[in-house]
Amino acid sequence: MLGLKADWSLEVFERYFTIGDYAGGEARWCPGCGDHGVLTAAQRVLRDEQQKPELSVCVSGIGCSSRMPHYLGTYGFHGLHGRALPLACGIKSRRPDLDVWVATGDGDCFSIGTAHWIHALRYNMNMTLMVFDNAIYGLTKAQTSPTSPIGLKTSTHPFGAIINPHNPLTVTLGITNVSFVAQVVDWNPPLLYETLKAAYQHRGTGFVRIIQRCPVYAEKVSKELQADPSRFLLLEHEKGIPVDPSVQRQFPQRTEHDPSDLTRAFQLATDQSKIPVGLIYHNPVAPCYEDLSSQGSEMTPQERLERFEAVLDRSTI
């Protein structure tokens, strides 16, 4: 930004980013889709952190939520089905200075991308991982997903899904070196914002499962949850997600939970009678793979070529 000083010389002000600086194309999700709120929350986090848009990248796989790189005014990479995380890890390895956001869904991450989900969490690279979980395949029109509840009528199970849904929290908590696990709903904007901000500020992979409304194909799932806030358990702690009275009013069931307690985190994730929201587990000192894998990224192309040839020479017979 430029300003004219009293002596008619030009002064360069520090850049200040507004929400508009993080706006990409017009979001084409359905009206009432929970994805809109997640996009807004992510944009607010970027604005409040004053992160340079040109030093941020949003990576996705395939699915409704994976449209996010088109709508966020940063760099973006709309990848292949289930492959958001290996792309994000590759970017972080070579450009650790970039701020990486991953947008993936229950079908993308918990089904075809399962192996990547497990290994990326173990690598614990510094990124914000948003899993938009709407319990259905939305983009491909209502097939049963790994988190569809029993009885949900879908195009692949017209009489209702027949096996228990996957529990992404227990799987995530069981991954070696996991460092940040949170759960939130898309229809509580203050909690959603604070949770994404905490995941963003965490050094490591900030895994956030977002229970997300799909009013077109899985309306029953989110309507039932919205109608009964007592099904949720709000986690409160000085080391957890900050919650204000407006959030507390929305969740009548609350409990103190120290997010460094992995044993209790498992208990909360396993208990089917209540859905925990807030920070379930946090280990701020878990090692990050990019601290090793990004070594040498400052080398010149010539230095890289010489190193590469030296490696090849070692195999010369």
Contact map string, positions 20 to 39, toward ligand SF4, x by CB under 6 A: ---------xx--x-x----
Return phi, psi of residue 306, to 5°.
-65, -40
Q: Output 103 or 234, the one with its CB closest to ligand SF4.
A: 103
Q: Output 113 or 278, the one with its CB closest to ligand SF4.
A: 113
Residue 109 binds to ligand SF4 (criterion: CB under 6 A): no
Residue 207 binds to ligand SF4 (criterion: CB under 6 A): no
The string over 255-274, giving b where at least 16 C-beta atoms fall within 10 Å of a residue's C-beta and e elsewhere, is eebebeebebbbebbeeeee
Residue 152 binds to ligand SF4 (criterion: CB under 6 A): no
Segment near ligand SF4 (CB under 6 A), from 159-167, 189-197, 215-223, 235-243? 215-223
Least separation in angstroms between CB 40 and ligand SF4: 14
Alpha-carbon distance of 54 to 87, in angstroms, equals 18
Alpha-carbon distance of 104 to 300, in angstroms, equals 34
For 209-234, the DSSP string reads EEE---TTT-HHHHHHHHH-GGGEEE
Among 149, 190, 215, 229, binds ligand SF4 (CB under 6 A): 215
* Strand-pair category, 75-78 with 56-60: parallel
Q: Output 59 or 135, the one with its CB closest to ligand SF4.
A: 135
Q: Output 33 or 100, the one with its CB closest to ligand SF4.
A: 33
List the one residue out of 79, 77, 145, 91 whose CA is nearest residue 120: 91
Least separation in angstroms between CB 103 and ligand SF4: 12
Residue 217 binds to ligand SF4 (criterion: CB under 6 A): yes
Alpha-carbon distance of 12 to 246, in angstroms, equals 41
Among 37, 113, 138, 204, binds ligand SF4 (CB under 6 A): 138
82's tokens: 């289930």
Segment near ligand SF4 (CB under 6 A), from 208-216, 239-247, 255-263, 279-287? 208-216
Alpha-carbon distance of 209 to 203, in angstroms, equals 18
Residue 64 binds to ligand SF4 (criterion: CB under 6 A): yes
Count of residues touching ligand SF4 (by CB under 6 A)? 11
Least separation in angstroms between CB 138 and ligand SF4: 3
Alpha-carbon distance of 147 to 128, in angstroms, equals 21
Residue 216 binds to ligand SF4 (criterion: CB under 6 A): yes
Instruction: Assess contact for 77 and 59: CB atoms under 8 A.
Output: yes
Q: What are the residues binding ligand SF4 (CB under 6 A)?
A: 29-30, 33, 35, 64, 134, 138, 214-217
